[in-house]
Amino acid sequence: QELLDVDGEILRNGGSYYILPAFRGKGGGLELAKTEGETCPLTVVQARSETDRGLPASIWSPPRIAIIRPGFSLNIEFRPRNPSACHRESSLQWKVEEESQQVKIAVKEDARGFGPFRIRPHRDDYKLVYCDEGQKR
């Protein structure tokens, strides 16, 4: 099964995409925000404005395969066009914070090869899932 973007084209391994909600009226694309006293935006959130596409994210899997399939262990990493100075000490690679179960961005030492995320078909669209086992590879 192939994973497609909104233009009907296959998702490319290492491609850069905005991740948008499938349904209107509940916020925009995924981006970063400061929460709970963070001095830099480290928390992955949905943009408040529906017209905001959020940040472009690179979606990639280490195998040298051109396309992404539903079973692949994926890394997701924001790649803003103009990264802020605030993020020099962090990669913008997603991780799940164990205690809070929130998606944050990883400090550089935590960035990993095989990512814990996958993309799965969900009704007529897709969903993102987090797979613990991906962390152990």
Partner 1 sequence: SDRCKDLGISIDEENNRRLVVKDGDPLAVRFVKANRRG
Q: Does 102 bind partner 1 (CB under 8 A)?
A: yes
By rule CB under 8 A, what count of residues binds partner 1?
A: 50
Q: Which of 14, 110, 125, 137 binds partner 1 (CB under 8 A)?
A: 125
Find all residues with CB under 8 Å of 108, minimum gap 6, and list them: 89, 90, 91
Q: What is the 3-state secondary structure (H, E, C) of 26-44?
A: CCCCEEEECCCCCCCCCEE
d(CA 51, CA 114): 32
Q: Does 69 bind partner 1 (CB under 8 A)?
A: no
Q: Which of 40, 50, 52, 53 binds partner 1 (CB under 8 A)?
A: 53
Residue that the structure tokens 């694309």 belong to: 29
Q: Does 133 bind partner 1 (CB under 8 A)?
A: yes
User: Closest Cα partner for 73 from 127, 121, 133, 7?
Assistant: 133
Maximum alpha-carbon separation in the chain:
42
Q: Does 56 bind partner 1 (CB under 8 A)?
A: yes
Query: What count of other Cβ atoms lies within 10 Å of the Cβ of residue 134?
Result: 18
Nearer to partner 1, 111 or 128 (CB): 128
Torsion of CA 131, 135, 136, 137, to 10 degrees: 100
User: Which of the residues 15 through 44 are near partner 1 (CB under 8 A)?
Assistant: 15-23, 26-27, 29-30, 33, 35, 43-44
Q: Does 137 bind partner 1 (CB under 8 A)?
A: no
* Residues that bind partner 1 in the complex, under the rule CB under 8 A: 3-7, 9, 11, 15-23, 26-27, 29-30, 33, 35, 43-46, 48, 53, 56, 59, 79, 96, 100-103, 117-118, 120, 122-123, 125-133
